[in-house]
Amino acid sequence: MPRLFLLSLMAALAAGCATNTSAPRTVLPGITDPTETRDLRPRNPRQPPRVLILTPRDGSRLVFRQAEVLVQASGEGALRVDVNGVPAVPDAASGRFVATLILDEGSSVPITARVEDALGQVSRHGILVAVDSTPPQVEARSKVVVGGSVDSHDTRVTVNGKPVPVAADMSWETVVRLPADLMVTIVATDSFGNQTVKVLDYSKQ
């Protein structure tokens, strides 16, 4: 009799298990469903750092290739700041850093500041400037007005070898381009061939 009872009990349990295979599972409080997945990676609540180029301003026109760039950086913990790859050092003001660059010449030269915090978070800020350190070339020639008078109408006048007309009142005047030695030579010759030579030295004027 006990053996028969035991066999009946086992058959009932087997039938009950087969009936409950499609029933929904009940998750008790405090027990995690083994089929549920969770992202257990630690989350970083810290905001990334910020950086701003203060000087020079975007669109500035620079006449020197060497430029001092001042940036403002903010963030938590230690910050590493560089400008165009050049490490920036802390300035006197809190949160400000400065780097000295040698810029290329051009109409759109980029300047990029980069800040990184201890967690490896990075922020950047960039501007464009124009750089031209080459002065313009100029060629100058000095001209002077030279004039005077002679004592006879038959006198011929030359200034640096060029004839100058004598007016009816025996005056003369001309515009002279100064030579390299800044000397102007005036020669007056009368009809007998007598000459008077006068030299004006503009290097002493």
Domain harbouring 148, CATH code? 2.60.40
Q: State which of 74, 102, 131 marks the end of a domain.
A: 131
List the domain range (segments joined by +) for residue 152: 143-204
How many domains is the chain built from?
A: 2
- pLDDT for 193 equals 92
Distances from the Cα of 111 to the Cα of 62, 72, 90, 193, angstroms: 13, 14, 18, 75
pLDDT in tens, 78-133: 899 999 999 999 998 789 999 999 999 999 999 999 999 999 999 999 999 999 99
Q: State which of 96, 131, 166 marks the end of a domain.
A: 131
Helix or strand holding residue 122 (H, E): strand 122-131
192 and 149 within one domain: yes
Integer Cα distance of 204 and 201 in angstroms: 6
188 and 126 within one domain: no
Note whether 98 and 91 are within 8 A (CB). Answer: yes
175 and 123 within one domain: no
Q: What is the mean pLDDT of residues 63-78?
A: 94
Residue 87, SS3 per DSSP: strand
pTM of the predicted protein model: 0.54
150 and 122 within one domain: no
Note whether 63 and 130 are within 8 A (CB). Answer: no
Helix or strand holding residue 19 (H, E): helix 2-19
Beta bridge partners of residue 148, listed in sequence order: 172
- pLDDT for 93 equals 79
Domain harbouring 100, CATH code? 2.60.40.10
192 and 124 within one domain: no
